[in-house]
Amino acid sequence: MNKLQKIFENKKAFIPFVVADDPDFETTVQNILTLADNGANIVELGIPFSDPVADGPVIQAADLRAFKAGVNVNLVFDIVEKARESTNVPIVFLTYTNIAFKFGYEAFCKKCHELNIDGLVVPDLPLEEQGDLKKYTDKYNISLIQLIAPTSDERIIKIAKAAQGFIYMVSSMGVTGKREDFSNELSPTIKRIKEVTDVPVAIGFGIHSVQQAKDLSELADGIIIGSAIVDLINKGEDLAEYANKISTAI
Amino acid sequence: MKEMQKTDPKSRYYGEFGGQFIPETLMTELNKVSAAYDKYKTDPDFLEELKTLLNDYANRPSLLYYAKNMTEDLGGAKVYFKREDLNHTGAHKINNVIGQALIAKRMGKTRLIAETGAGQHGVATATIAALFGMECEIYMGKMDTDRQKLNVYRMELLGAKVHPVTTGSMVLKDAVNATLQAWTQRVDDTFYVLGSAVGPYPFPEMVHDFQSVISKESKRQILDVEGRLPDAVVACVGGGSNAIGSFAEYIADGDVKLIGCEAAGKGVDTDQTAATIERGSTGIFHGMKSLFLQNNDGQIDKVYSISAGLDYPGVGPEHAHLAITKRAKYVGITDDEAVDAFEYIAKTEGIIAAIESCHAVAYVEKLAPTMSKDKIIICTLSGRGDKDVASIAKYRGRDIDE
């Protein structure tokens, strides 16, 4: 069984997201370790992009802080390498297509393999355009994480069938960032996914409170929390405590 | 569609460029737009309504004007201007907006959203939204709302809500980001009227088709007056909508030189430029694989041009294909050259043309004298320059009250 998929066996997975190099190298490494020590089952590490069209203001601001700190792709790799000295927590990258494309899909995947990266979430690379990258994620045994949205409708089945690792279920319309309401399509969509695949489903976009995490984890196999964590890190609040609360609640 | 676009088995591509690199949230909607466009692009009722609006509302066909004074002054090839500046709303943008808004209407949409750079596309979209009784919201970089205040007010006058975009470099690129984000929030009743020949399929194809009215007309007009095709067609290129429309009907005519004029800003060798084809490299952004100004890490560059309409780090995928296959040539024109041309065409021909279009005029000034008197150039004046008068005055050190 796929290594990522295995993580979801017999438990709900907590997948926190942090932006690499926000606000600096050491803090990011420390945050990955803190999350790993406090119940994170997978850490999603965002590679900053100049124009993150799928992201709301909180993650956009984090990307800007990372650029201010001088982030580049190789530095993100260095962050993982440093974290890897102390943790084996599964890590997936969130990267926009152009970062991997410009690095060279093969070189990028090879590097991910060397760093023991288990998956890639690429928000602007829909199923139809994945062929060129998929060649190398397959070669280097990295899961290309599929996203399914409340609008995916007729696309759900074919995307679910192509899924590896886990499926990133987008909770609602719009971009990343806190929200109070989630799409009514969540339950029926997850039901349709489950009819065609055993690949676990994690819900992301907008989750911030412990109660939301608990409620949504009941609909799926895991939850992804991004903006709320990025915001908390920015405000210097207690990451360990928050991660603990979430992982205990789900 | 043109044969050359079908050379790739994936018809969403122009050679290696194009595609649909967009968040999953938008894919279903994008497919609906594709299906609707496929259905209506050959539908007689649709085409009739489009034609009627273009002719009766937008003032088409636009004139092909022989610029006698400029021809004599430059002393070479005969210069013709395709006068898109005489269209209703003052630019070529209306051609595409009418087409896309008619598709939106047939899809049952009641709300139009759009990005705008100089404001011309925003004004055209606001205009058609008013005509069709649709809601309209326009996203415009804060830099551009500041340098094109008149157009902001025009859009508001037409009933649109204008959102100044304060993320990134606050220009056209960021306006596209904001409009894409707004679209992911609300697709059910909303159509994104994309103004340039960029973005995910089917937008580059729709823009190509709706703007190709420019070259359909110019071809007929030049055959009428000269009895032959032009030797060169010149147009300015930001994302490339007026250029693709100006080139479209001549692409298969190998003897007609196609020349796109990009904004070189302070110079193609400086970092204050927007000369994408000359300086860019292949990348994937704004829904398409194309050429972009970017760094080695794949981060999209901040770009610069005096022209808010050409101030874009990418270019439409069909232009990228025409450039790589050498069917069209792309040249950089600096701010200084464009401003000189702005003044030159005003004084020589009595035409105040948009600063965007003046990038093409500047190249004609260089090209015409190198060609013999029996040669013909058609240059598209994509828009009128009223909107630029205040900023050109400022460029020349005159502060005038808008």
ipTM of the prediction: 0.96
Choose among A171, A187, A172, A108: nearest CA to A144: A108
Would the pLDDT of B3 be above 50?
no
Tokens of B299: 């981060």
Q: What sections of B227-334 are H helices per DSSP?
A: 241-247, 276-279, 317-324
Q: What is the structure's pLDDT at A122? A: 98
Contact B181 A53 (CB under 8 A): yes
Q: Is the peptide bond before B313 cis (omega within 30 degrees of 0)?
A: no
Q: Which residues of A touch B186 (CB under 8 A)?
A: 173
Tokens of B236: 């300015």
* Beta-sheet pairing, B232-237 with B190-192: unpaired
Is the Cβ–Cβ distance between B242 and B235 less than 8 Å? yes
Residues 283-342 on B with a CB inside 8 Å of A are 283-287, 292, 294, 296-300
* Angle value at C-alpha A25, between A22 and A27, nearest 5 degrees: 70
Choose among B117, B119, B99, B95: nearest CA to B33: B99
Residues 334-373 on B with a CB inside 8 Å of A are none
Q: What sections of A21-141 are H helices per DSSP?
A: 25-37, 57-68, 73-84, 97-103, 105-114, 131-139
What CA–CA distance (Å, rounded) separates B82 from B220? Answer: 12
Q: What sections of B165-212 are H helices per DSSP?
A: 172-185, 203-211
| Residue B44 neighbours by CB distance under 10 Å | 7
Q: What is the largest CA-CA distance in chain A?
A: 46
Residues 46-85 on B with a CB inside 8 Å of A are none
Selected catalytic residue, list A21, A22, A44, A63 = A44
Contact A102 B29 (CB under 8 A): no
Would the pLDDT of B7 be above 70?
no
Contact A175 B27 (CB under 8 A): no
Would the pLDDT of B263 be above 90?
yes
Q: Which of A197-201, B7-11, B128-132, B133-137 has the lowest mean pLDDT?
A: B7-11
Selected catalytic residue, list B78, B82, B93, B257 = B93
Give how far A123 is from chain B: nearest CA, Å: 5
Q: Which residues of A touch B187 (CB under 8 A)?
A: 151, 173
Burial B357-393 (b: 16+ CB within 10 A, else e): bbbbbbbbbebbeebeeebbbbbbbbbbbebbbbbbe
Q: What is the structure's pLDDT at B9? A: 44
Question: Band of the pLDDT at B399, cuts 50, 70, 90?
Answer: confident
Strand partners, B156: none
Give how far B264 is from chain A: nearest CA, Å: 22
Would the pLDDT of A70 be above 90?
yes
Please name the helix (run of DSSP H) or strand (run of DSSP E) that holds residue B364, with its range, or none.
helix B355-367
Give how far A99 is from chain B: nearest CA, Å: 5
What CA–CA distance (Å, rounded) separates B21 from B200? Answer: 6
> Which positions in chain A have a beta carbon within 8 angstroms of at least one beta carbon in chain B?
49-51, 53-54, 60, 67, 72-73, 97-103, 123-129, 147-155, 159, 170, 173-175
Q: What is the structure's pLDDT at B147? A: 81
Is the Cβ–Cβ distance between A69 and A48 less than 8 Å? no
Q: What is the structure's pLDDT at B10? A: 58
Question: Band of the pLDDT at B168, cuts 50, 70, 90?
Answer: confident
Q: What is the structure's pLDDT at A1? A: 66
Q: What is the structure's pLDDT at A2? A: 82
Contact A148 B24 (CB under 8 A): yes
Summarised one tens digit per residue, pLDDT across range B318-345 is 999 999 999 999 999 999 999 999 999 9
A102 to chain B: nearest residue by CA? B298
Mean pLDDT across chain B, nearest whole number?
95
Contact B284 A154 (CB under 8 A): no
B300 to chain A: nearest residue by CA? A50
Q: Is the dihedral of CA B53, B55, B59, B62 positive or negative?
A: positive
What CA–CA distance (Å, rounded) separates A182 from B3? Answer: 45
The answer to whether residue B187 neighbours chain A at the CB level (below 8 Å) is yes
Q: Kindly state the average pLDDT of the residues B182-201.
A: 96
Residue in B25, B31, B198, B300 to test binding to A, most A beta-carbons within 10 Å: B25
Contact B25 A149 (CB under 8 A): yes
* Beta-sheet pairing, A167-170 with B328-334: unpaired
What CA–CA distance (Å, rounded) separates A124 from B26? Answer: 10
Give how far B12 is from chain A: nearest CA, Å: 11
Q: Kindly state the average pLDDT of the residues B356-360.
A: 98
List of residues 6+ apart from A49 with CB closer than 8 A: A63, A95, A96, A98, A99, B298, B299
Q: Which residues of A touch B287 (CB under 8 A)?
A: 124
Question: Band of the pLDDT at B401, cuts 50, 70, 90?
Answer: low
* CA B256 to centroid of chain Cα atoms: 21
Mean pLDDT across chain A, nearest whole number?
96
Question: Band of the pLDDT at A52, cuts 50, 70, 90?
Answer: very high
| Residue B325 neighbours by CB distance under 10 Å | 12
Out of B19, B25, B286, name the one closest to residue A129 (CB).
B19
Is the Cβ–Cβ distance between B391 and B292 less than 8 Å? no
Out of A67, A124, A153, name the one closest to residue B23 (CB).
A124
Q: What is the structure's pLDDT at B252? A: 98
Is the Cβ–Cβ distance between B195 and B93 less than 8 Å? yes
Q: Kindly state the average pLDDT of the residues B351-364.
A: 98
Is the Cβ–Cβ distance between A136 and A113 less than 8 Å? no
Would the pLDDT of B299 be above 60?
yes
DSSP letter string, B44-113: HHHHHHHHHIIIIIS-PSPPEEE-HHHHHHHTSSEEEEEEGGGSGGGBTHHHHHHHHHHHHHHTT--EEE
The answer to whether residue B28 neighbours chain A at the CB level (below 8 Å) is yes
3-state secondary structure of B329: strand
* Angle value at C-alpha A29, between A28 and A33, nearest 5 degrees: 115
A138 is catalytic: no
A48 to chain B: nearest residue by CA? B299
Q: Kindly state the average pLDDT of the residues B162-190.
A: 94
Which value, in Å, is the radius of gyration of the alpha carbons in chain A? 16
B283 to chain A: nearest residue by CA? A98
Q: Kindly state the average pLDDT of the residues A81-106.
A: 98
Residue in A105, A129, A130 to test binding to B, most B beta-carbons within 10 Å: A129
Out of A60, A98, A148, name the one closest to residue B284 (CB).
A98
The answer to whether residue B33 neighbours chain A at the CB level (below 8 Å) is no
- The predicted model scores a pTM of 0.96
Contact B181 A175 (CB under 8 A): yes
The answer to whether residue B29 neighbours chain A at the CB level (below 8 Å) is yes
Q: Which residues of B touch A124 (CB under 8 A)?
A: 21-23, 284, 287
Q: Is the peptide bond before B23 cis (omega within 30 degrees of 0)?
A: no
A55 is catalytic: yes
Would the pLDDT of B6 be above 50?
no
Q: What sections of B227-275 are H helices per DSSP?
A: 241-247
Q: Kindly state the average pLDDT of the residues A22-26.
A: 97
Q: Which residues of B touch A159 (CB under 8 A)?
A: 24
Q: Which residues of B touch A183 (CB under 8 A)?
A: none
